[in-house]
Amino acid sequence: MARYESMFQTLAEKNEGAFVPFVTIGDPNLETSERIIETLIANGADALELGLPFSDPVADGPVIQAANFRALDAKVTIAQSFELLARIRERHPELPIGLLVYCNLVHAKGIHSFFARCAEVGVDSVLIADVPIREAGLYRSAAQAVGVQSVYICPPDASQTLRNKVAEMSEGYVYLLSRAGVTGADQELQTPAAEAIDELKAANSAPPLLGFGISQPQHVKAALENGAKGAISGSAVVKIVAEQLHDEPAMLAALGEFIKTMKAATKQ
């Protein structure tokens, strides 16, 4: 059984939703980043969504853009990022790990090489933020060839046609946006109508996880009440890193508390 499928099954048996934090690998440096990721796991993350550092993260707001720049300033490479992923996988064999990347990174050493490396280090899924689903076939085929799942974004205002396409193609989970635009925790959360989630389910989609603007426990509860199977929180997590850059113990303590609180909100 694939790791996402196993996770959702286990959570359903416990009547819980999934809480999935996002951070950028290498922020603020490689060593601290690894300790951050271990802290997320130790305090209740059900899965991880991780970004590879990139110089032009167009789908992200200022908080996550800054995280990318900190990682690049620390000279963190893609090769080092994959090595870190391999270490995380070795320590946590059952944990679903997803990557959120940009197209240029996939092409840097060739599409097939990229997905082969993902498979080698135990990455479960890849979401390419700047490739629309109508252009995704080549990437999805390369991913499927090595057993990596492809995740796609479903905008809140998606047409029925697009929603059905996402339901057909997205594997592991569907990244359901709470609103249009770029990532950010300061934006007001807009939970999509339960009908949108119902339509995804009617189309036999993978379980939807709600993302964008998830920064408080009530956002997680609202996502679950509307039928999502969990929530992804990125900017709110990365903001804690940014606020405590010069005090790692305080940073890790604050991250631990945030993850515990958000995970507690998934218990229905």
From CA 93, how far away is CA 89, in angstroms rounded?
5
Q: What is the pLDDT of residue 196?
A: 82
Q: Any bridge partners for residue 208, and if so which?
A: 174
Reported residue count of the chain is: 268
Residue 60 falls in the annotated catalytic set: yes
CB 163 within 8 A of CB 198: no
Confidence of residue 5 (pLDDT cuts 50, 70, 90): very high
Choosing from 60, 198, 199, 243, the catalytic residue is 60
Q: What is the pLDDT of residue 189?
A: 54
Strands 153-154 and 230-233: unpaired
CB 78 within 8 A of CB 105: yes
3-class SS of residue 267: strand
Q: What is the pLDDT of residue 180?
A: 54
- Sketch the domain layout of the chain as residue ranges: 3-264
Tell me the C-alpha to C-alpha distance, in Å, between residue 212 and each of 51, 79, 105, 128.
15, 28, 23, 16
From CA 170, how far away is CA 155, in angstroms rounded?
13
From CA 223, how far away is CA 232, in angstroms rounded?
10
Q: What is the pLDDT of residues 168-207, one digit of tens each?
A: 999 999 999 986 555 555 555 555 557 789 999 999 999 9
Q: Which fold has domain 3-264?
A: TIM Barrel (3.20.20)
Tell me the C-alpha to C-alpha distance, in Å, between residue 117 and each of 7, 126, 143, 188.
23, 12, 10, 37
CB 13 within 8 A of CB 55: no
CB 198 within 8 A of CB 174: no
Residue 225 falls in the annotated catalytic set: no
Residue 85, both tokens: 């992923």
Q: What is the pLDDT of residues 218-231, one digit of tens each?
A: 999 999 999 999 99
Strands 125-128 and 149-150: parallel
Choosing from 16, 27, 46, 49, the catalytic residue is 49
CB 114 within 8 A of CB 108: yes
